A and B are shown apart, each in its own frame.
Chain A
Amino acid sequence: MRKYFYTLIALLAWIGLPASQALADNGYSKQKVVYHINYDDPKTQAGALRNIQNHINAVGADKLDIKVVLHGNGLALLILPEAMPDLPKFKHANANDQMAARIDGLKQQNVSFQVCANTVRGRKVSVEDHLYDVEDSDIVPSGVAELARLQQLGYVYIKP
């Protein structure tokens, strides 16, 4: 029974993949990935962005749909240093020029950054004034719910 089940799965997987994808040049087919950041340590956050860049280098931006979900302390990634005095609930504001450049670079490679509305509301963040390059379309109602939703849509979860 199990053997047939696996065979069936393999067959379905094979049918589901167009030949061009299955036989991509570098061996990778398309991937949907959600990266989870809920911590504010600047080194760890920079490391996470480096992971994402390495991921893109290996697989190719054209084959990747990457979303980064930020909530809780993770919002520190996009907080501008000058906004620090306005935001007592955050210990770090990591969106300095260097980090902003990394974020820009990733966005140009089809990476999107999603910000949790609960955190924005709960910690009194002004999306326009305090965050680096965030638009209304980047706001999701709940970071946690978004992580679950994306996984239900087939995104692979990675927490660097």
Chain B
Amino acid sequence: MRSRLLLRVTALGYLTALLLVPVAMIGYRTFAHGIAPVWDALTTPAAQHALYLSVLVTAIAVPVNVVFGVVAGIALARRRMPAPRLVDLLINLPFAMSPVVIGLALFTLYGRGGWVGDWLAAHGLQVLFSIPGLVLATAFVCLPFVVREIVPVVEEIGAEQEQAAATLGANGWTTFWRITLPALRWALAYGVVLSTARALGEFGAVSIVSGDIVGQTQTLPLLVDERFRNFDATGAYSAGFALAVISVLVLTAMTVLSRRKERPQ
């Protein structure tokens, strides 16, 4: 019994030192001088724009990946995907790549001297240091989350219900909307939550392609970094705290959804 207690104390002590105290610390540091400076820091035009930009980029990148994830996930699970090994590799590549290398890869394609960068610039389309670059970086980073949730569920539910619907005269769309999609809803929701968290918080890939122009291409995580480097601790902690609150919400959603996901239908 004593050894059990020792193990418990060691494990919880490790978690406390590494996770709990640091995360509690950010709340303390943020509100060290009261609420007013935090409110001021979060309502500056730069902070407002950073929040708007983060939400905008997420609102474009995540839905695109959801459509891709559902279509590709069903095709992969039903063995209808051409070149499945290559597709599998490409889907998992964002997990194997450093965010910085992802940003750099986009740089070598769309930047000056890149494969298509100069041509696009000559035709008036600026990808890097503007919103398209941010969206591409975010979509790249979040790519695996939805599709990886979808594939195992489609494999598990099988095709019997869809076949039954087809025998009863339902066309492809009806079957998809009434049979397939409802069966996928919890896995899909879980994937969306993971993608959204990652999209809102992405730093490395975005920092390479954004140019970090205040009020133009600065997302919320980039604002945290820039405020901190400019010795504006309150600004950095306030934005960091806002992001931490979002991640606690995400964590709650993850916990609820993963329970739903595992419950038999």
Whether chains A and B associate is: no
Residues of B within 8 A of A (CB): none
